Structure 1
Amino acid sequence: MSDFLKHECGVAAIRLLKPLSYFQDKYGSTLWAFNKLLILMEKQYNRGQDGAGIGCVKLNMPLGQPYLFRTRDASKDALTSIFNGQIKKLNKKVRRGQVNLKDAADIKNNFDYGGEILMGHLRYGTSGLFDEGSCHPYLRRTNWPTRTLMVLGNFNMTNTPELNQRMIERGQHPVFGTDTQTVLEEIGYHLDEAHTDLYRALRDSGMPGPEIPHAISSRLNIQEIIHNSAKQWDGGYAIMGAIGNGDYFCLRDPHGIRPCHYLITDEFIAVASERVPLMTVFEVESEQVQELPPANMLSIKADGTHAITEFTTPLKPAPCSFEKIYFSRGNDPIVYRERKALGAALTPPNRGFSGRPF
């Protein structure tokens, strides 16, 4: 490693496996996922107060309709500002009779965050400026959903100069301000390569143009794209992202430096930096929340099929003690046991009380 690891951020995501109408019928709210994302981020507010951002990808939107959204804020009360701002916009449409809160189709078509993939980020700034532009998620937009990319994460790449130089040698024009841009562009480069190969093969096979986007979407191999992107990465990271077609991914560094946990049900898949927020928000027991193993990625295709696979070779475990001692919530039973064990290891053996103060 060429630089020291720095501090930590918080990440959260919810991927619905059922349509919005299902959550309206069962839970009485088409905004179920949006509200859950807010609480999941509030429960991790201890991880970053320098800014916040949320993103959304909507599945199967008609041609000409927007399908990817992002809001970022670097103000003092960024999280409250973002969510209150979106609710105010929605309530304004409701008052005007433009949206029916109980109509899932209305919410999906008229509310930016009425989608199936919702992601959030709490920033603890370690690089870049302390402004909205340095907050996650980061975007790469194109007119191809299968090339459009949104990325956020809790990470520090310790070899960012080398990664930038690699892009320069390809002929790219990197932005040097933050390692987030480096990660975004590296994944985007390999996504472009995979997309171009698929497009040319399908076009040359004689497939009609309007059928090609769906075919590319079904054939995109997220695991391979991440495997190729991560070959030169050096650092601690829990990175998540979504492609415009609805493919989602979340990955953890080979040493397990940054924490990442997930919950899978038949209704949704949720991801967060910490275990307890998932337990609390979704009212589940600790054994239902799993820790994403180092060097593994959780991938979810647009059709909802999902898998957990290695994207690189696991290395010697080296979880960040700063995260466990300072950032993580103490009511996580596993973290609590680890804190006690660490305290015991650091305490000198008891040799009897001498009567003198310590």
Structure 2
Amino acid sequence: MEKQHNRGQDGAGIATVKLNTEPGVPFMHRLRSSAPQAIGDIFAKVRDEIDEIEKYQPEITKYPGLMKGHIRFLGELLMGHLRYATQGKNNVELCHPFVRHNTIPARNLALAGNFNLVNVDELFKFVNVEPGETHRNSDLAAMLEVLHHFLSKEDEERRNGLDVKNILQQAFSMFDGGYHVCGLIGSGDAFVMRDAHGIRPSYYYVNEDVIVAASERAAIRTAFNVGENEVLELMPGNALIVKENGEYSVEQILAPKERRACSFERIYFSRGNDEKIYKERTALGYNLSETVLKSIDNDLRNTIFSFIPNTAEIAFYGMLKGLEDYLNKIKVERIVSWGKDFDEEKLTEMVNRRIRIDKIAIKDVKMRTFITADTSRNEMVQHVYDITYGTVRPGIDTLVVIDDSIVRGTTLRESIIRMLDRLGPKRIIVVSSAPQIRYPDCYGIDMSKIGDFVAFKAAIELLKDHGKEHILQEAYGLCMELQRTNTLHAQNVVRNIYKPFTTEEISAKIAEIITPSDISAKVDVIYQSIESLHQACPNNLGDWYFTGNFPTPGGNRVVNKAFMNYMEGKNERGY
């Protein structure tokens, strides 16, 4: 869990199933926390139980079987989850795992995952459940009810063990979204399931002692000290099913569809110590170097390069490699052009030319503002960063800083641009290793309020500047008509809002939006192109954030609903 802490900072939870317990003895336990250090809080409570046994009944610690009976979270099936709350309040009741209890052991179910579903209302209606206020919009609650419905049905019809594959085929055929989800069943069976498009990442490792699955390959490699090829990817539409006796199989549950693995995982969300992700982020930075050079007229003498820590650091190294390749090419061309007309001093000066790099921005808080709950994000960005003074020649140097992505622009406008301007650069260029984020996501990263996106704000401002506000009303009218005919999923209407403008025009307007009125430096923004993104991340072509090309019809419904919410002044999720 600690090695995937990057995936969730707003809560954590664990669950355990004990096998072969005596009748009447609890066998499924769960513990959740939304404390500031949730992982530490949870395992401190687990440790307290152990300390109490060691203090008052030390003889029990010599017998694992007895320990299992006294320690709630000592069991054979273990589940851990980390929550991030980009939407709404950080409520411990929304932390995974969710549990459905039943007096019949095989009908007990614990569920946790990395996912979003866009058809929650339909799922609750199918199982005839009216959720409480807390869980009304919870896709995990809906998934739990549907899975429990088919689990109970399976247990009722079969008396000689559960057919977990059959349960999963019935339930997951109903889910519209992206997911990597794990379930523990009271019978001792367990499963891990991945969506048919492979939107969310899913990996597993098996040896003679353990079977483990996680959202990130590197987390498994580090925890178990194993090689890359020993950790396998769970393919789209597949489930890893583990029986009570330890036997396991990988089963095709859903027919695989076009692979649309999430590119934002590679750009930002996953840890960068996975060797494939490291290479991809390096390529993202490298691909931007030519555009950056053009923007500064190849003036490397008067340009300092840096990055916004911490997730942009790898892309920075890639951009630096591209700049160094250009500079080395220039060195060779100049030296060759001299012929024999050079001396040691002249040659030394040329050979020793370097790309100017400095660590300009410093991150004081080890938190990721993008995946922080709405209520605390704006306050947090004011205090996360600081700068290194004395690195810039005031009025002379251009400062180029690369960020992994620009979603809302809040951190740039409220914190980073203001601080960088204190150094006195004549120009600030912000480089994004991701393309412009234009559309909501509903498959796991969970960006659902379109009015928050700085690219959308820029398009709206451009429509106003060009007297084309009628496009907004036409798009809203079309959405209303689609909703009336129950076809809101048929097309992505929001594309019409971006259509009149080039990427460069939108980038220029974004630069205006993120520039505070009281700073001196000129601010520009450079974005990754869609083509370069695909070239850098060829196996993760899920790009709907940037293109609006959603992998399931539910995505179109979400983006249109999010736009309608914006037009109606509703500050709520698009699904």
8 Å CA contact retained: 1:127, 1:178: no
2:255 maps to what in 1? Answer: 313
Distance 1:288-1:147 versus aligned 2 partners, 3 A rule: same
Q: Secondary structure at 2:62's aligned position in 1?
A: coil
Alignment size in residue pairs: 297
Indicate yes or no: 2:217 matched with 1:275: yes
The aligned amino acid for 1:68 is M
1:115 maps to what in 2? Answer: 75
Q: Secondary structure at 1:152's aligned position in 2?
A: strand
1:68 maps to what in 2? Answer: 28
CA distance in 1, matches of 2:197, 2:62: 46
The aligned amino acid for 1:331 is N
CA distance in 2, matches of 1:186, 1:109: 32
Distance 1:159-1:172 versus aligned 2 partners, 3 A rule: closer
Distance 1:315-1:348 versus aligned 2 partners, 3 A rule: farther
Indicate yes or no: 2:187 matched with 1:245: yes
Deviation at 1:266?
A: 0.7
1:48-59 alignment runs, 5 A limit: 48-59=8-19
Distance 1:158-1:345 versus aligned 2 partners, 3 A rule: farther
1:288 maps to what in 2? Answer: 230
Bigger-Rg structure (1/2): 2
Q: Secondary structure at 2:53's aligned position in 1?
A: helix
Indicate yes or no: 2:49 matched with 1:89: yes
* Equivalent of 1:172 in 122, 126, 129: 129
The aligned amino acid for 2:15 is G
1:337-356 alignment runs, 5 A limit: 337-344=279-286, 348=290, 354-356=297-299
1:201-212 alignment runs, 5 A limit: none
8 Å CA contact retained: 2:53, 2:61: no
Question: What root-mean-square deviation, in Å, do the aligned CA atoms of Structure 1 and Structure 2 show?
Answer: 2.0
8 Å CA contact retained: 2:27, 2:186: yes
8 Å CA contact retained: 1:128, 1:177: no
Indicate yes or no: 2:127 matched with 1:185: no
1:194-233 alignment runs, 5 A limit: 194-199=154-159, 215=160, 219-233=161-175
8 Å CA contact retained: 1:296, 1:308: yes
| Structure 2: segments with no counterpart, 5+ residues | 304-575
8 Å CA contact retained: 2:120, 2:137: no
TM-score (norm 1): 0.78
8 Å CA contact retained: 1:255, 1:317: yes
8 Å CA contact retained: 2:12, 2:38: yes
8 Å CA contact retained: 1:296, 1:312: yes
What are the superposed Cα offsets for residues 102-122 of structure 1, whole Å, 9 maximum, x if unpaired?
321122111111100110000
TM-score (norm 2): 0.49
Distance 1:228-1:100 versus aligned 2 partners, 3 A rule: same
Identity of aligned residues (%): 38
The aligned amino acid for 1:58 is K
8 Å CA contact retained: 1:262, 1:269: yes
CA distance in 2, matches of 1:139, 1:49: 21
8 Å CA contact retained: 1:99, 1:107: no
| Greater length-normalized contact order (CA 8 Å, ≥ 6 residues apart) | 1
The aligned amino acid for 1:162 is E
Q: Secondary structure at 2:82's aligned position in 1?
A: strand
8 Å CA contact retained: 1:128, 1:134: no
Distance 1:316-1:93 versus aligned 2 partners, 3 A rule: same
| Structure 1: segments with no counterpart, 5+ residues | 1-40, 200-214
